[in-house]
């Protein structure tokens, strides 16, 4: 007799279940001998009770027996070769089997999440190719993403980077990395034009609405957070605000001045791009050539302060009418837009970190300027991997507040916009974004959103059927391969369209098993459930159907109520006042108020 043959990886879980889950012990039916029980007797019990033992069995123990089994397991954890005589009590325990419990962590057919560490490739904008992701510190990831400038309602363009990097955050966490995710809030310093001219966007909004700038910032930051919650975007680990890090920005500007790569002009401080280009090479991230930039730069207000039109502001002297202002060694003023991200990423992630993300529209000049700043201030370029999501377009043009062609997320959720044919749920919007590679453009149309809505419903329908699938003796579908393909897709630059395609293959399997055209063992059904729900809910971040409160429920209620009101209208036309009043009163008792108007009956929730 060879003693314990239970897979070693599961022993701690069994021990934990004995001690924490009150009298439940999971046994694996693949084990030939457990507690020294003879193979022949185990197989006899299983074969005599096939309805109870498709995969494994549960022992229900009283407290005395539980203590004995815990002691027994403790013994076996330290000594694989158990003495059969000490374990004959297991024979009696086996006969107390009363119910089935699923097997936990079937490692033979279920890929461990952590197996995918070291397999992730991502497209690095800096090198213009896919690279194997290797974090600076093993098992830890520093991720910085440029957040919104909070001077208006969040729109569909804001949803794309938020959802894109939410999936990156979710997946890296899922495969076992400890991720510190920093996403900033720009609430000062972002001027109307990227060439250091114009009014501060938030200050302008405050002036027009006769509010304090921080009132504007707070209101739209709250609105952004509410929209992100609706989209099921996880909050970052840290969400620093630019206005809360003025000291850090001033200190970094001084570092750049001390290094000789900036100069003071009329109370403002500008980065010397020409000197940087000579010493380090400008344009490595964006591919821009300095000489061409200079030749194509038009003269703008305030450019006379600069030595070179390509230079960018690190600190701006405030004009008399500028509301937001702080003291500095150079003037009373405010930080330039680009310096905030360099200062805050350094503060929270260190002088060098793993991933910096943001929209493609930030690649130049914002991110190129960050490269310049960090190289000088920290003595090295801070970021190892740059990731950029592409834009959402509307009629082929970038969607954005500055262009006036945007649709707010709340307008999508309510359907209240002239370009929208109906309301779309937050999960439809999220799914719509994830249908395309984050590096490709997505063009808005009602047809595309409605197609996404139908696709999402098919996935929800399949998920609803998972728990009703009946197990067979064999599997005619390879679920392990399906799971592996899902991981391979995510490891290939977070390829969400490919993951979605694999989930639709899972839909096919679910429907085939449901209709009797395919079979899966109980183990493979469990693996299918785990794979589908892990990728659909946990990684893609789609909310479970009952949690999202989407527009389909509202649409169904609208149709049902219209049917009831039509019945009441018919009753009134036939002068069946008793029925008409009963319908109204019953609806009122159910919390639905019916009001008769000259244009017909209307209803609302009480």
**Residues 6 or more apart from 532 whose CB is under 8 A from it?**
462, 463, 466, 503, 506, 510
pTM to 2 decimals?
0.73
- Domain contains 109: no
Q: Are 580 and 571 in contact (CB under 8 A)?
A: yes
DSSP β-ladder status, 600-605 and 592-597:
antiparallel
Q: Which residue(s) pair with 239 in the sheet?
A: none
Structure tokens at 56: 């494994």
The tokens describing 412, both together, are 């999508």
Is the per-residue pLDDT at 66 higher than 80? no
At residue 10, the pLDDT reads: 40
Domain range spanning residue 27?
8-94
The secondary structure element, H or E, covering residue 552 is helix 551-573
pLDDT value of residue 489: 97
Residue 196 lies in a domain: yes
Say if residue 342's pLDDT is above 60.
yes
Judge if 384 and 315 occupy the same domain.
Answer: yes
Tens of pLDDT, residue by residue over 218-271, are 999 999 999 999 999 999 999 999 999 999 999 999 999 999 999 999 999 999
DSSP character for 115? G
| Whether residue 577 has pLDDT greater than 50 | yes
Q: Which residue has the tokens 């001045």?
A: 257
pLDDT of residue 606: 55
Identify the pLDDT of residue 335: 95
For residue 491, the model assigns a pLDDT of 97
User: Which CATH number do you get for residue 469?
Assistant: 1.20.120.640
Looking at residue 304, the DSSP 8-state letter turns out to be G
The pLDDT of residue 5 is above 70: no
* Residue 170, in any domain of the structure: yes
What's the mean per-residue pLDDT of the chain?
81
Instruction: For residues 247 and 305, state if they share a domain.
Output: yes
The DSSP string of 343-397 is HHHHHHH-SSEEEEEEEGGGIIIIIHHHHHHHHHHSSS--EEEEEEE--EEETTE
Give a yes or no: residue 131 inside a domain: no
Q: State how many domains the chain has.
A: 4
Same domain? For 356 and 243 the reply is yes
How does pLDDT run across 461-484, given as a tens digit for each residue? 999 999 999 999 999 999 999 999
pLDDT exceeds cutoff 60 at 295: yes
Residue 107 lies in a domain: no
What does the pLDDT average to over 312-335? 93
Locate 158 and state its tokens.
């804001």
Which has more confidence, 512 or 548?
512
Note whether 484 and 111 are within 8 A (CB): yes
Place of tokens 């966007």: 201
Confidence (pLDDT) at 297 = 67
- pLDDT of the residue at 53: 41
As a whole number, mean pLDDT of residues 105-130 equals 78
Whether 156 and 254 map to the same domain: the answer is yes
User: Is pLDDT above 70 for 306?
Assistant: yes
**What are the tens digits of pLDDT across the range 404-428?**
678 999 999 999 999 999 999 999 9
| Torsion angle of the four alpha carbons 164, 167, 173, 174, in this order, in degrees rounded to the nearest 10 | -160
Region 188-217: what's the mean pLDDT?
71
CATH number at 194 reads: 3.40.50.620
pLDDT at 139: 95
Q: Are residues 46 and 84 in the same domain?
A: yes
End of a domain among 530, 548, 566?
Answer: 548
The answer, yes or no, to whether residue 446 has pLDDT greater than 60, is yes
Tokens 């003071």 appear where?
A: 264
556 shares a domain with 425: no
**Cβ atoms of 201 and 191 closer than 8 Å:** yes
The answer to whether residues 269 and 233 belong to one domain is yes
> Do 544 and 555 have their domain in common?
no
Which of the residue ranges 245-254, 276-285, 553-562 would you say has the lowest mean pLDDT?
Answer: 553-562
For the chain, how far is it from start to end, CA to CA, in angstroms? 72
With respect to residue 455, please indicate whether it lies within any of the assigned structural domains: yes
1 found inside a domain:
no
* Residue 523 within a domain: yes
């Amino acid at each position: 007799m060879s003693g314990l043959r239970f897979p070693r990886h599961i022993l701690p879980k069994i021990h934990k279940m004995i001690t924490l889950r009150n009298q439940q012990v999971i046994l694996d039916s693949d084990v030939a001998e457990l507690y020294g029980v003879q193979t022949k007797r185990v197989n006899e019990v299983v074969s005599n009770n096939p309805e109870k033992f498709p995969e494994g069995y549960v022992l229900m123990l009283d407290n005395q027996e539980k203590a004995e089994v815990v002691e027994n397991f403790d013994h076996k954890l330290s000594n694989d070769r158990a003495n059969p005589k000490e374990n004959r009590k297991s024979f009696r325990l086996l006969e107390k089997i009363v119910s089935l419990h699923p097997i936990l962590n079937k490692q033979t057919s279920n890929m461990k999440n952590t197996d995918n560490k070291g397999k992730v490739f991502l497209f690095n904008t800096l090198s213009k190719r896919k690279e194997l992701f290797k974090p600076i510190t093993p098992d830890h990831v520093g991720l910085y993403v440029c957040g919104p400038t909070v001077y208006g309602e969040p729109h569909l363009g804001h949803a794309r980077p938020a959802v894109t990097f939410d999936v990156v955050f979710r997946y890296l966490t899922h495969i076992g990395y400890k991720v510190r995710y920093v996403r900033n809030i720009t609430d000062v310093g972002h001027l109307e034009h990227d060439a250091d001219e114009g009014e501060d966007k938030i200050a302008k909004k405050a002036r027009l609405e006769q509010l304090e700038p921080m009132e504007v910032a707070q209101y739209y930051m709250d609105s952004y957070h509410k929209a992100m919650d609706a989209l099921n975007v996880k909050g970052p680990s840290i969400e620093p605000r630019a206005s809360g890090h003025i000291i850090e920005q001033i200190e970094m500007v001084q570092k750049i001045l001390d290094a000789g790569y900036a100069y003071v002009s009329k109370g403002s401080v500008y980065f010397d791009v020409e000197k940087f280009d000579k010493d380090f090479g400008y344009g490595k991230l964006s591919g821009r050539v300095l000489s061409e930039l200079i030749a194509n730069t038009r003269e703008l207000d305030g450019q006379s302060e600069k030595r070179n039109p390509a230079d960018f502001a690190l600190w701006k002297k405030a004009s008399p009418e500028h509301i937001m202002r702080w003291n500095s060694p150079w003037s009373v003023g405010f930080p330039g837009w680009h310096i905030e991200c360099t200062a805050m990423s350094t503060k929270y992630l260190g002088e060098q970190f793993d991933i910096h993300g943001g929209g493609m529209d930030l690649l130049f000049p914002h991110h190129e300027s960050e490269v310049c700043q960090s190289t000088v201030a920290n003595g090295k370029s801070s970021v190892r991997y740059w990731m950029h999501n592409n834009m959402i377009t509307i009629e082929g043009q970038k969607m954005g507040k500055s262009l006036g062609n945007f649709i707010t997320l709340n307008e999508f959720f309510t359907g209240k916009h002239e370009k929208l044919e109906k309301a779309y749920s937050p999960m439809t919007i999220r799914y719509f974004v994830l249908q395309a590679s984050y590096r490709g453009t997505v063009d808005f149309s009602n047809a595309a959103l409605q197609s996404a809505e139908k696709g999402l419903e098919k996935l929800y329908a399949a998920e609803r059927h998972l728990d009703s699938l009946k197990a067979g003796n064999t599997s005619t579908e390879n679920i392990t391969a399906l799971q592996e393909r899902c991981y391979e897709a995510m490891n290939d630059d977070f390829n969400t369209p490919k993951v979605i395609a694999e989930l639709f293959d899972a839909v096919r399997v679910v429907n085939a098993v449901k209709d009797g055209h395919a079979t899966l063992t109980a183990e493979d059904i469990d693996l299918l459930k785990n794979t589908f729900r892990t990728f659909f809910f946990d990684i893609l971040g789609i909310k479970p159907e009952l949690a999202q409160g989407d527009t389909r429920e509202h649409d169904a209620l609208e149709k049902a109520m219209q049917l009831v009101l039509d019945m009441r209208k018919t009753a009134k036309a036939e002068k069946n006042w008793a029925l008409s009043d009963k319908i109204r009163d019953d609806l009122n008792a159910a919390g639905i108020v019916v009001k008769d108007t000259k244009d017909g009956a209307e209803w609302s929730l009480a």
